[in-house]
């Protein structure tokens, strides 16, 4: 069959070939399905074929699959009588026509359909029943648009089975179903995919000027466009600061930014040039979102929330307070105190937020298009100071992520400098499964062959933590296994024993341990010489011990020889205070040992038993009465034991040393004549021995005889006095001293006696007074061990007297009954060191029967009351830093600094005493300069004098400097401090005498309809308006969001309250605007800018703005300023002038204002078939609503229509026929084109526009 009916056909008709083939088809019985008619409402004739096959379908039948219905029509031929088609899909500038009518039911206009070659409305075919629309079948799913990163596959259906007609209902439901595919991540980011598409057009020239190509580097428009506009292949020229579409649309699956994304919002994906929402399940418009656990459509039950807070940190450092676990989701961190602190984020050891000691602005990392991104927001106070920060991370976290905090000041400045951070995140809840976990012990030996044991215990399969064996019940437990291990031979090794005792207990000693070189050979351990073991692994033999300082103690030093070499003597000692310091002894003042009992100054010595010796026990009288004689003496053998002589066997003493039995002696001087008497007596003695004596006459003889007095001491050496008495020499009887010769009497003398050492004994002093003045007390006395010497009692060690019972040192005493008295109990000490105070609880008592009885306090009123406070803990405190009171703040208001003295002090006896700073820790020293603020400064604006007028004639401007001044410092401050006050104007208009040669503008006349109000319609004016420059900078006025219509003026954007300020300047058609930047304080490094744009131009600048002049190409110029900090901005002066080039027709009309009327212009026949336009401009950031009030087209002319273009998004709507419409823009600019009979008197249009808030 032919694909068309052929050219020049009046109606569609069957060819002979087609007719024959169709008859064959029917005769074979293959058309039985045609007998099953659908159950449809209405009569069959009401279902027109054009309702099933629209104009596009008819073009495809006629010209092939690529054909489409023509987008424009001739005005002299009814659209329903000719099939007009674009046969080339890439060329819509021409149409191919077939002279065949469109099928009945083909839509030919709004609410109009073709019927018998005519385009008719429902009113003309009232006999036709309404036809409700029905869906066609779904097309097959398209191929995935991307290989990774989330492409799109879709299918469509059309409401053409049939199309709704004659007042019938449209189809209900979706015409497009789309799903994401190939969602695995790419090696590059979503922004890279968009950037790659933009960069592919770098080689395609742009003709900003006719026939002059220019080449640009095109980049994504993130941050400059969102939504559908972003999907229109919108790219930005790098370095030129303008953007435009570089094609019809981005590849399906390119990410886009939705209007208001949230943490779990649907994903924005470009589909057919529109930014569409896809749910987390990958379906278009499913509205499925991730729950807090990262589960699509979940209810948050598969994870557990973890919360916490942090308020610490270190001065001038980034401190990690939270390391996010892997797979954490829905991370939310808030710092509610970000004036002196701020957050930072480190991912894989690299900072992606802050990190250089300063706070970051709002940021999304890596971009808003990524699935896993970090969104950071900074909130400011009304004074534009940091107030709080908020961080969102959707997750799941895949890389090591550290969240840190930076604080400017330390804690000594108070709570205001601490961060106030709260955070929360979610972790997956893991369902535990259990299994037998192999546990292998260490090898029994490290070498030489050992055994390892492998047993099995019940454990969590995920965490490997051991659990009760009951949880593995039902799972067979493997048997225990043993296996050989470490079978290699052992090398020689050192074996060290335990360290012995320390050489000293304090002062730094040394202890040693034994060391052996061993080697294990099978089951034996062999000892080897030390050189067989490696010297580098040899353990140390000694180590330092007892390093604690030794306590002070009394020491004794010999100060003389022992008083006896045996049998117990006394050694005098030098007593001093010292302590051990290693091998040395360190002498100390006696005060350091004052708390210890002092040693005795003597000690026993020579305690070895003395050898036996001879001792003369008795001496007889001298044999002579006077003169020399002999004295018999008795000797015994004695041995000294404990200072006393004990007689022993004579055989123990050496016989050679035995004293003589007789000793010579002398008894005074013999009297005169004694010799003869003596000799005769001797003869007589001799004679009496042999024969009978011959008695001679005896004469009495008187002599002086010595008498020894008692020894003053019984031991230890005493003195005895020897004096002489007169005795009869024979009888030794005392006689009168007169009988002896007084002249021969010897002098009285003294001699030592009892020289043997005294035995030790306890010396007891008298008891002292009773310790109690009343009641029962104790009396004390001194008891010490002493030994008597020749000079004095010498103290001994108590051990010398151990064999003797020691007398008691104390005894109870009774001092009589006590009266009532005060008693007290002490509380806790107010200070742990340095001398504190304890408060006493006083109460009155008296002694009862062995106990105290508490009495009313009045009973003790007559007695002196003890102090209620007592000192305690007098030892000095360790040194510490002490800061004095700060000096007065350097600023009487606002932030300043205060100084203070920081000293190292030690608290003792209630007083801080300054000591050397080296005794205090340096790292804890507080700063000597601290910030301070007495009160908020009453800041104010200070205005300087006005400058001279900028012109010598005509209208000019005057400016003046306005600075923010504080009370304390009369210097300009940051404008932030005065933001709460109205700022005086800095610019005002001024007028000088008129200039001698005024500029005249003579625009051409423009016809206007008489019913258009003058306030809303600007045609080219007949006279240039003369308006004084509008004062745009005053206390209450901001130009942001304004539409300025004066012919000249000054715009001050330096102190506007908005960061993003947008305004427009409008003039009548035929005029252009010239703008000069008087001054600029924008910071280009912070990406501040000013943007000038119109329909024919876009220019973005920041650098070298002062003095820059720009001339618009049309009569309306949009100005947009973006800045970060208040006080910055531009000051510009603008004026209008006549355009040198025409970009409009004489029938065009310009409309400004809040509301106005729109009528179609009436064009003279001489102007031909061109269109006329009406331009509508309202204040920026407002929208335009156009409402058709009446549309009257006398004849149905297909070439007559109204076209409305939304200038901001460059989208067009076409309205045919007489149906009224309502239209709303997406921006503040619109163009209305009138075509066909609307330009002549055959068609009329009346409508109105209004500006509305978005």
Give dist(CA 385, CA 342) in Å, integer.
Answer: 12
| Residue 223 reports pLDDT greater than 70 | yes
Q: 1132, 1076 in Cβ contact below 8 A?
A: yes
Give the model's pLDDT for residue 325: 92
Backbone angles phi, psi at 16, to 5 degrees: -65, -40
808 burial class (0-12, 13-18, 19+ CB within 10 angstroms)? exposed
Q: Is 610 annotated as a binding residue?
A: no
**Quick one: which H or E segment has residue 55?**
helix 55-63
- Classify residue 1077: in a domain, yes or no: yes
Q: Is 860 annotated as a binding residue?
A: no
For the segment 135-160, what is each residue's pLDDT rounded down to a tens digit? 888 999 999 999 999 999 999 998 88
Percentage of the chain lying above the pLDDT 90 cut: 18
Whether residue 333 sits in one domain with residue 360: yes
Instruction: Read off the pLDDT of each residue in 211-222 and give the average, rounded to a whole number.
Output: 88
| Residue 1156 reports pLDDT greater than 60 | yes
Whether residue 572 sits in one domain with residue 524: yes
Kindly report the number of other CB atoms within 10 A of residue 849's CB atom: 5
**56-70, 619-633, 1025-1039, 1135-1149: range with lowest mean pLDDT:** 1025-1039
| Residue 430 reports pLDDT greater than 80 | no
Whether residue 424 sits in one domain with residue 316: yes
622 burial class (0-12, 13-18, 19+ CB within 10 angstroms)? buried
Give the model's pLDDT for residue 848: 63
Q: 944, 961 in Cβ contact below 8 A?
A: yes
Q: Kindly state the tokens that stand for 465.
A: 């933590």
**232-241, 384-393, 499-508: range with lowest mean pLDDT:** 499-508
**192-196, 283-287, 894-898, 1021-1025: range with lowest mean pLDDT:** 1021-1025
Give the model's pLDDT for residue 609: 76
**114-123, 436-445, 677-686, 1019-1028: range with lowest mean pLDDT:** 1019-1028
User: Scanning the structure block, which residue is given the tokens 């001797």?
Assistant: 682
Give dist(CA 237, CA 1098) in Å, integer.
Answer: 11
- Classify residue 788: in a domain, yes or no: no
Give the model's pLDDT for residue 607: 74
Give the model's pLDDT for residue 522: 64
**Quick one: which H or E segment has residue 227?**
helix 227-231
- Classify residue 861: in a domain, yes or no: no
Size (the chain), residues: 1254
**CATH number, domain at 336?**
2.60.120.830
Q: Among candidates 180, 181, 222, which has minimal Cα distance to 198?
A: 222
For the segment 742-794, what is each residue's pLDDT rounded down to a tens digit? 877 888 888 888 877 788 888 888 888 887 777 677 888 888 888 877 667 77
**Quick one: which H or E segment has residue 679?**
helix 674-690
Give dist(CA 423, CA 426) in Å, integer.
Answer: 11
Instruction: Read off the pLDDT of each residue in 91-98 and give the average, rounded to a whole number.
Output: 82
Whether residue 1149 sits in one domain with residue 1137: no
Give the model's pLDDT for residue 753: 85
Whether residue 166 sits in one domain with residue 111: no
Mean predicted lDDT score pLDDT of the chain: 81
Percentage of the chain lying above the pLDDT 70 cut: 85
258-288 exposure pattern, b = at least 16 Cβ within 10 A, e = fewer: beebeebebbbbbbebebbebbbebebebee
- Classify residue 105: in a domain, yes or no: yes
Give the model's pLDDT for residue 347: 92
Whether residue 1075 sits in one domain with residue 1125: yes
The upper half-sphere exposure of residue 1121, i.e. CA atoms within 13 Å in the direction of its Cβ, equals 31
Give the model's pLDDT for residue 42: 42
Instruction: Read off the pLDDT of each residue in 567-584 and give the average, rounded to a whole number.
Output: 79
Give the model's pLDDT for residue 643: 64
**Quick one: which H or E segment has residue 198?**
helix 190-199
- Classify residue 539: in a domain, yes or no: no
For the segment 914-941, what is each residue's pLDDT rounded down to a tens digit? 899 888 988 888 888 887 776 666 777 8
Whether residue 196 sits in one domain with residue 177: yes
Whether residue 451 sits in one domain with residue 410: no
Give dist(CA 157, CA 289) in Å, integer.
Answer: 27
- Classify residue 485: in a domain, yes or no: no
User: Scanning the structure block, which residue is given the tokens 């051991």?
Assistant: 466
124 burial class (0-12, 13-18, 19+ CB within 10 angstroms)? middle
Give the model's pLDDT for residue 685: 36
Instruction: Read off the pLDDT of each residue in 588-595 and give the average, rounded to a whole number.
Output: 83
For the segment 362-395, what is each residue's pLDDT rounded down to a tens digit? 888 888 888 888 889 988 888 778 889 999 998 8
| Residue 1060 reports pLDDT greater than 70 | yes
Give the model's pLDDT for residue 29: 66
Give the model's pLDDT for residue 180: 93
User: Scanning the structure block, which residue is given the tokens 């744009």?
Assistant: 1093
| Residue 300 reports pLDDT greater than 90 | no
Domain count, the chain: 7
Domain hosting 191: range is 151-278
Give the model's pLDDT for residue 780: 82
**CATH number, domain at 73?**
3.40.1620.60
Backbone angles phi, psi at 392, to 5 degrees: -120, 135
Give dist(CA 1067, CA 1150) in Å, integer.
Answer: 9
Give the model's pLDDT for residue 260: 60
| Residue 125 reports pLDDT greater than 80 | no
| Residue 193 reports pLDDT greater than 90 | yes
- Classify residue 762: in a domain, yes or no: no
**Among the three residues 1141, 1165, 1197, which one is the final residue of a domain in this structure?**
1141
For the segment 838-889, what is each residue's pLDDT rounded down to a tens digit? 888 888 887 765 567 778 888 888 888 888 888 888 888 889 899 888 888 8
**75: CB partners within 8 A, 6+ apart:** 1169, 1197, 1198, 1199, 1200, 1236, 1237
**CATH number, domain at 1059?**
2.60.120.290
Instruction: Read off the pLDDT of each residue in 1092-1104 and give the average, rounded to a whole number.
Output: 85
Whether residue 361 sits in one domain with residue 325: yes
Give the model's pLDDT for residue 59: 92
Give dist(CA 417, CA 893) in Å, integer.
Answer: 19
**215: CB partners within 8 A, 6+ apart:** 202, 203, 205, 206
Strand partners of residue 376:
363, 391
Instruction: Read off the pLDDT of each residue in 996-1020 and give the average, rounded to a whole number.
Output: 37
Whether residue 263 sits in one domain with residue 324: no
| Residue 298 reports pLDDT greater than 80 | yes
Give the model's pLDDT for residue 968: 56
DSSP for 296-320, please give it. Answer: BT--STTEEEEEEEE----BTSEEE
Instruction: Read off the pLDDT of each residue in 951-979 and give the average, rounded to a whole number.
Output: 73
- Classify residue 979: in a domain, yes or no: no
**Among the three residues 1117, 1141, 1165, which one is the final residue of a domain in this structure?**
1141
Q: Which long-range contacts (CB under 8 A, 24 or more apart) does 1196-1199 make?
A: 1196/78, 1196/118, 1196/119, 1197/75, 1197/1236, 1197/1237, 1197/1242, 1197/1243, 1198/73, 1198/74, 1198/75, 1198/77, 1198/78, 1198/79, 1198/108, 1198/109, 1198/119, 1199/73, 1199/74, 1199/75, 1199/76, 1199/1235, 1199/1236, 1199/1237
Give dist(CA 506, CA 523) in Å, integer.
Answer: 44
Q: 650, 695 in Cβ contact below 8 A?
A: no
Whether residue 155 sits in one domain with residue 209: yes
Whether residue 464 sits in one domain with residue 348: no
């Amino acid at each position: 069959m032919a694909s068309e009916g052929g050219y020049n056909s009046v109606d569609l008709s069957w060819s002979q070939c087609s007719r024959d083939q169709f008859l064959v088809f029917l005769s074979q019985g293959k058309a039985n399905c045609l007998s099953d008619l659908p159950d449809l409402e209405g009569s069959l004739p009401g279902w027109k074929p054009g309702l099933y096959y629209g104009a596009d379908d008819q073009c495809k039948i006629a010209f092939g699959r690529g054909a489409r219905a023509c987008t424009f029509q001739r005005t002299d031929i009814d659209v329903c009588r000719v099939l007009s088609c674009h046969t080339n899909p890439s060329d819509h500038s021409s149409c191919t026509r077939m002279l065949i009518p469109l099928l009945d039911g083909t839509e030919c206009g709004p609410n109009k359909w073709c019927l018998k070659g005519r385009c008719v409305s429902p009113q003309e075919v009232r006999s036709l029943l309404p036809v409700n629309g029905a869906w066609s079948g779904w097309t097959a799913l398209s191929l995935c648009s991307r290989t990774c990163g989330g492409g799109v596959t879709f299918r469509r259906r059309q409401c053409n089975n049939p199309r709704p007609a004659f007042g019938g209902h449209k189809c209900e439901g979706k015409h497009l179903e789309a799903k994401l595919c190939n969602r695995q991540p790419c090696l590059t980011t979503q922004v890279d995919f968009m950037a790659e598409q933009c960069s592919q057009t770098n080689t395609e020239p742009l003709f900003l000027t006719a026939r002059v190509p220019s080449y640009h580097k095109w980049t994504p428009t993130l941050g400059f466009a969102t939504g559908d506009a972003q999907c229109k292949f919108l790219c930005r020229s790098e370095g030129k600061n303008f953007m435009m579409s570089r094609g019809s649309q981005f590849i399906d699956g390119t990410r886009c930014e939705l209007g208001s994304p949230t943490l779990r919002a649907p994903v924005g994906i470009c589909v057919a040039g529109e930014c569409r929402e896809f749910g987390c399940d990958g379906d278009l418009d499913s509205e499925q979102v991730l729950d807090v656990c990262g589960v699509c459509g979940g209810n948050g039950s598969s994870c557990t929330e973890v919360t916490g807070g942090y308020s610490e940190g270190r001065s001038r450092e980034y401190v990690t307070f939270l390391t996010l676990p892997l797979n954490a989701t829905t991370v939310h961190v808030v710092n509610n105190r970000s004036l002196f602190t701020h957050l930072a984020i480190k991912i894989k050891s690299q900072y992606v937020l802050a990190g250089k000691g300063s706070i970051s602005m709002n940021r999304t990392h890596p971009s808003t298009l990524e699935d896993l991104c970090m969104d950071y927001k900074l909130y400011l106070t009304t004074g534009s100071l940091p107030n709080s920060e908020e961080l969102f991370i959707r997750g799941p976290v895949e890389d090591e992520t550290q969240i840190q905090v930076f604080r400017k000041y330390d804690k000594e400045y108070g709570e205001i400098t601490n961060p106030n951070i709260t955070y929360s995140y979610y972790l997956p809840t893991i369902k535990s499964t259990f299994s037998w976990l192999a546990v292998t012990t260490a090898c029994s030996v490290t070498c030489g062959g050992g055994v390892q044991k492998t047993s099995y215990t019940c454990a969590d399969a995920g965490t490997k933590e051991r659990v009760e064996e009951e949880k593995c019940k039902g799972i067979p437990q493997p048997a225990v296994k043993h296996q050989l291990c470490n079978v290699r031979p052992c090398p020689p090794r050192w074996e060290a024993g335990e360290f012995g005792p320390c050489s000293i207990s304090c002062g730094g000693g040394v202890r040693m341990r034994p060391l052996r070189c061993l080697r294990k050979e099978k089951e034996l351990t062999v000892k080897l010489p030390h050189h067989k073991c490696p010297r580098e692994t040899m353990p140390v033999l000694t180590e330092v011990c007892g390093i604690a300082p030794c306590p002070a103690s009394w020491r004794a030093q010999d100060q003389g020889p022992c008083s006896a070499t045996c049998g117990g003597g006394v050694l005098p000692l030098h007593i001093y205070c010292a302590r051990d310091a290693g091998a040395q002894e360190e002498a100390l003042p006696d005060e350091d040992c004052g708390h210890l009992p002092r040693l005795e100054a003597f000690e026993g010595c020579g305690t070895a038993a003395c050898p036996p010796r001879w001792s003369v026990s008795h001496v007889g009288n001298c044999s002579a009465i006077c003169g020399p004689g002999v004295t018999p003496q008795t000797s015994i053998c004695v041995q000294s034991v404990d200072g006393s002589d004990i007689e022993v066997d004579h055989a123990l003493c050496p016989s050679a040393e035995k004293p003589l039995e007789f000793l010579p002696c002398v008894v005074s001087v013999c009297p005169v004549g004694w010799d003869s008497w003596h000799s005769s007596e001797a003869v007589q003695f001799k004679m009496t021995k042999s024969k009978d004596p011959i008695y001679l006459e005896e004469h009495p003889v008187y002599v002086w005889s010595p008498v020894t007095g008692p020894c003053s001491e019984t031991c230890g050496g005493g003195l005895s006095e020897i004096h002489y008495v007169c005795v009869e020499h024979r009888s030794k009887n005392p006689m009168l001293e007169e009988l002896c010769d007084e002249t021969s009497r010897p002098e009285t003398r003294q001699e030592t006696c009892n020289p043997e050492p005294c035995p030790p004994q306890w010396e007891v002093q008298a008891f002292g007074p009773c310790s109690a003045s009343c009641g029962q007390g104790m009396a004390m006395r001194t008891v010490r061990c002493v030994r008597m010497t020749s000079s004095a009692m010498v103290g001994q060690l108590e051990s010398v007297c151990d064999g003797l019972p020691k007398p008691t040192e104390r005894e109870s005493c009774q001092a009589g009954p006590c009266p009532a008295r005060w008693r007290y109990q002490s509380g806790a000490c107010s200070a742990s060191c340095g001398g504190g105070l304890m408060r006493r609880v006083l109460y009155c008592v008296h002694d009862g029967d062995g106990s105290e009885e508490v009495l009313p306090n009045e009973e003790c009123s007559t007695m002196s009351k003890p102090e209620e406070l007592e000192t305690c803990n007098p030892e000095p405190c360790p040194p510490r830093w002490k800061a004095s009171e700060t000096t007065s703040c350097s600023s009487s208001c606002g932030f300043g600094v205060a100084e203070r003295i920081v000293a190292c002090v030690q608290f003792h006896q209630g007083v801080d005493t300054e000591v050397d700073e080296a005794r205090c820790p340096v790292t804890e020293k507080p700063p000597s300069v601290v910030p301070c603020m007495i009160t908020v400064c009453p800041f104010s604006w200070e205005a300087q004098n006005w400058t001279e007028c900028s012109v010598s004639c005509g209208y000019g401007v005057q400016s003046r400097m306005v600075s923010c001044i504080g009370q304390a410092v009369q210097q300009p401050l940051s404008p932030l401090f005065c933001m709460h006050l109205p700022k005086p104007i800095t610019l005002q208009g001024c007028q000088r005498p008129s200039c001698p040669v005024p500029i005249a503008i003579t625009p051409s006349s423009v016809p206007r309809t008489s019913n258009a109000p003058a306030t809303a319609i600007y045609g080219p004016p007949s006279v240039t308006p003369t308006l004084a420059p509008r004062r745009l900078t005053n206390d209450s006025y901001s130009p942001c969001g304004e539409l300025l219509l004066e012919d000249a003026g000054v715009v001050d954007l330096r102190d506007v309250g908005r960061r993003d300020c947008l305004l427009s300047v409008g003039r009548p058609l035929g005029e252009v605007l010239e703008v000069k930047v008087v001054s600029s304080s924008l910071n280009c490094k912070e990406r501040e800018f000013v943007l000038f744009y119109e329909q024919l131009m876009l220019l973005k600048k920041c650098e070298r703005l002062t003095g820059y002049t720009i001339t618009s190409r049309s009569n309306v110029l949009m100005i947009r300023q973006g800045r970060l900090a208040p006080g910055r901005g531009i000051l510009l002066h603008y004026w209008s002038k006549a355009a040198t080039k025409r970009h409009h027709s004489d029938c065009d009309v310009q409309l400004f204002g809040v509301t106005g009327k729109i009528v179609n212009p009436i064009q003279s026949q001489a102007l031909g078939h061109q269109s006329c336009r009406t331009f509508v401009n309202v204040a920026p950031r407002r929208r335009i609503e156009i409402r058709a009030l009446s549309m009257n087209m006398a004849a149905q002319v297909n070439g007559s229509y109204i076209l409305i273009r939304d200038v901001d998004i460059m989208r067009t709507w076409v309205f045919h026929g007489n149906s009224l419409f309502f239209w709303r823009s997406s921006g503040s600019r619109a163009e209305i084109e009138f075509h066909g009979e609307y330009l002549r008197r055959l068609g009329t249009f009346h409508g109105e526009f209004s500006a509305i808030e978005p």
